[in-house]
Structure 1
Amino acid sequence: MIKTKYNYEDITNLNSYISKILKKNFGKGPAACYTFLTDDMMFINIKNFITPVEEVLIKKNEEHLAHKSRMIIFDAIFEQIQEEVKRVLNIDYTSMCYDWSFKHNTGLIILTKDEHFTQTAEHSLEGNESVNSIKKICSNVHNTQVQINHVSQTSTVTYIIYSGFMSKIEHALYEKGYVELLIEWSNELKGEYKQNKRLFEHALRAAIDDHFVFLDFEKDRGMIVFYHT
Structure 2
Amino acid sequence: MNNRYSSYHEDLLLLSSTLSKMLKRSFGKGPETCFVTLHSNQLTVYLRNYITPAEEVLLEAGQSSLALDFRSKVMESVFLEFAKEAIDALGINLDHFYSDWDYDKNTGILLLEEESTIRELESKSDSLLKERLFERISQVSTQVHKMPNQLELVRINQNLILIECQGFMLQIEKLLFEKGHLDILQERSKEIKDLYLSNQSLFENILGRNVIGLFMLWDYHKDRFFIYFDLQ
Could you tell me how far apart the structure 2 residues matched to 1:165 and 1:111 are? 21
1:25 aligned counterpart, secondary structure: helix
Could you tell me how far apart the structure 2 residues matched to 1:2 and 1:184 are? 37
| Matching residue of 1:32 | 33
Could you tell me how far apart the structure 2 residues matched to 1:10 and 1:56 are? 36
**CA RMSD between the two structures:** 2.1
Aligned residue pairs total: 226
Shift of 1:7: 4.4
Matched, 1:115 2:127: no
Could you tell me how far apart the structure 2 residues matched to 1:158 and 1:79 are? 26
Given that residues 144 and 166 in structure 1 are in contact (C-alpha distance below 8 angstroms), is that contact kept between their aligned partners in structure 2?
yes
Could you tell me how far apart the structure 2 residues matched to 1:214 and 1:123 are? 22
Could you tell me how far apart the structure 2 residues matched to 1:228 and 1:91 are? 28
Given that residues 35 and 45 in structure 2 are in contact (C-alpha distance below 8 angstroms), is that contact kept between their aligned partners in structure 1?
yes
Describe the superposition over 1:1-23 as per-residue Cα deviations: whole angstroms up to 9, x where unpaired.
64652344322221111011101
Could you tell me how far apart the structure 2 residues matched to 1:121 and 1:202 are? 26
State the AA in 2 paired with 1:88: A
Given that residues 32 and 47 in structure 1 are in contact (C-alpha distance below 8 angstroms), is that contact kept between their aligned partners in structure 2?
yes
Farther off after superposition, 7-16 or 64-73 = 7-16
| Matching residue of 2:147 | 145
1:166 aligned counterpart, secondary structure: coil
Aligned residues with identical type, % of pairs: 30
Given that residues 135 and 147 in structure 1 are in contact (C-alpha distance below 8 angstroms), is that contact kept between their aligned partners in structure 2?
no
| Matching residue of 1:207 | 210
Could you tell me how far apart the structure 1 residues matched to 2:152 and 2:120 are? 6
Farther off after superposition, 218-227 or 180-189 = 180-189
Structure 1, gaps ≥5 residues long: none
Given that residues 92 and 114 in structure 2 are in contact (C-alpha distance below 8 angstroms), is that contact kept between their aligned partners in structure 1?
no
- The correspondence of residues 125-140 of structure 1 with structure 2, limited to 5 A, is 125-127=126-128, 128-140=131-143
Given that residues 40 and 117 in structure 2 are in contact (C-alpha distance below 8 angstroms), is that contact kept between their aligned partners in structure 1?
no
Given that residues 150 and 167 in structure 2 are in contact (C-alpha distance below 8 angstroms), is that contact kept between their aligned partners in structure 1?
no
Could you tell me how far apart the structure 1 residues matched to 2:2 and 2:101 are? 23
1:6 aligned counterpart, secondary structure: helix
State the AA in 2 paired with 1:30: P
Given that residues 157 and 225 in structure 1 are in contact (C-alpha distance below 8 angstroms), is that contact kept between their aligned partners in structure 2?
yes
Farther off after superposition, 160-169 or 45-54 = 160-169
State the AA in 2 paired with 1:159: L
Shift of 1:123: 5.7
- The correspondence of residues 1-150 of structure 1 with structure 2, limited to 5 A, is 2=2, 4-116=5-117, 124=123, 125-127=126-128, 128-140=131-143, 142-150=144-152
1:162 aligned counterpart, secondary structure: strand
Query: Cα 1:224–1:162, aligned 2, differ >3 Å: closer, same or farther?
Result: same
Given that residues 150 and 165 in structure 2 are in contact (C-alpha distance below 8 angstroms), is that contact kept between their aligned partners in structure 1?
yes
Given that residues 208 and 227 in structure 1 are in contact (C-alpha distance below 8 angstroms), is that contact kept between their aligned partners in structure 2?
yes
Q: TM-score, normalised by structure 2?
A: 0.88
Structure 2, gaps ≥5 residues long: none
Farther off after superposition, 2-11 or 176-185 = 2-11
